[in-house]
Amino acid sequence: MTEYTPTFYAIEWTAAGLRLLDQRRLPGEEVYLEFGDAVAVAVAIRDMVVRGAPAIGITAAYGVVLSAQQHGSHADWRSRVDQDIRLLAAARPTAVNLVWALERMRARLARVTAEPVRELLDEAEQIHGEDVSANRRMGVHGANLIGKGSSVLTYCNAGSLATGGYGTALGVIRTAWGAGKLEKVFACETRPWLQGARLTAWELLRDDIPVTLITDNSAAFLMQGKQVQWVITGADRVAANGDVINKIGTYQLAVACRYHGVKMMVAAPLSTLDMATPCGQQVTIEERPETEVLGLAGQAVAAAGAVAWNPAFDITPAALVDYLVTEEGVIAAPDREKLAAFTAALNPGS
């Protein structure tokens, strides 16, 4: 298996500040935007310039660095940075990585000494680097579960664009493809933002991995024809009982998997585990503007006067997940007891 070399970077810290690949413009244009303050970063997160739970957290961490740069000359700079942290946390509340990364930055803020910007940047870069490393380890763990000659279906985008680099679900697929295990890769289009068609297909093709797109409502028929053996997704949050909160549509894929005997794999870093939330039903599900459903690429597609319901995420019960793959190992048939034992083993004495 050859070493993976990135062909793009969705999140970069430069001398000018934070640089993000505008994912709203893909695949037609590769446009990079630069950000110099935390308020603009919060807007970018909210408006989906950047999306995907790990990527949102990393971006917000760099947003804290920008806040320290902006307010460092003020006597009350710490309170101003804390205010920006609260603003960043509210940008997209469902993804637990956002709050996790910001709490880590807040803890570092409390310890800074002579060089706040440098110290906060060190922490943000560490969060970024740890995510890439975690993704690569996750890819190996997940690929080890897949038999040679398998075909997989993925959903939304859980690749380099959604993380610090390499990807969660796509990290598993990249690793399995590099090991010669995969026969075919399918991707759902993923309405309403078409992250599968626009982003996942773009990423895979950049890596010379052939991909076959299907409409979201073709997935069960694909399974019925025994054309896939695995569905692999990422997660925006995993509750303490193993419930998975992910892009809307994940739940119906998991139901179809169970009926058709297709294995359901969720690849998620430890930062996505929310052991403080007992179950998925206690998570606030973000609802986005109805215009995203009523239109497509800026063009109205629905009858005038129609209304829409647009939850961004759904809740997949743990009982429908065959494997939860993390950077530290695999949990088969995850539940509350297994997750508690797994996390306790990683943090003895805590």
What residues form DSSP beta bridges with 255? none
Say which residues have a Cβ less than 8 Å from residue 145's Cβ, sequence separation at least 6.
Answer: 263, 265, 323, 325, 330
Measured CA to CA in angstroms, residue 231 lies from 156, 160, 256, 257, 317 at distances of 12, 18, 10, 8, 15
Strand, coil or helix: 337:
helix
Of 131, 236, 243, 274, the catalytic one is 236
Asked if 236 is an active-site residue, the reply is yes
Q: Of 312, 317, 239, nearest to 47 (Cα)?
A: 312
User: Does residue 124 contact residue 60 with C-beta atoms inside 8 Å?
Assistant: no
Output the furthest CA–CA distance in the chain (Å, rounded). 66
Burial pattern 78-93, b for ≥16 Cβ within 10 A else e, equals bebbbebbebbbebbe
Question: With DSSP H G I counted as helix, E B as strand and the rest as coil, what are the percentages for the chain, rounded to 5?
Answer: 45, 20, 40
* Catalytic residue annotation: 236
